[in-house]
Amino acid sequence: MPYTMANKKALKFTFIVNFRGGIYCAQVDATNVNESILQWINQIEKERDQIKFLGNKIISELKKEVQHDYNIPVPLNGLKNIWFVSFSTRKGSFLINIVKTASK
């Protein structure tokens, strides 16, 4: 049976992103932190006009970067449900904190 979000309970993840001197926040629903990154890229692709300097080429680079094994979210020491991951593109780096967020 293929893996789908329908098979698992969706969780909310908050992204706090530093890109080229700006701080951007977003929330996505996903079944785990790794899937949340894919959902985040899909979301910023739709909302790219809200992030200064973000264009189609950078989105394409992010989609390639996320496929590499070395670009996995790392849990922050001593904290629960908080990760860090970074991606480098030709136009700048994305420094990202991801927080599993309670939904109410």
pLDDT, tens digit, for every residue of 30-71? Answer: 999 999 999 999 999 999 888 888 999 999 999 999 888 888
pTM metric for this prediction: 0.87
Q: Residue 32 carries which side chain, given as an amino acid letter?
A: N
Contact between residue 39 and residue 28 where contact means Cβ atoms under 8 Å apart: yes
User: pLDDT band at residue 9, thresholds of 50, 70 and 90?
Assistant: confident
- ∠ CA(59), CA(13), CA(93), 5° rounding? 35
- The total number of structural domains in the chain stands at 1
Domain extent, residue 58, equals 5-101
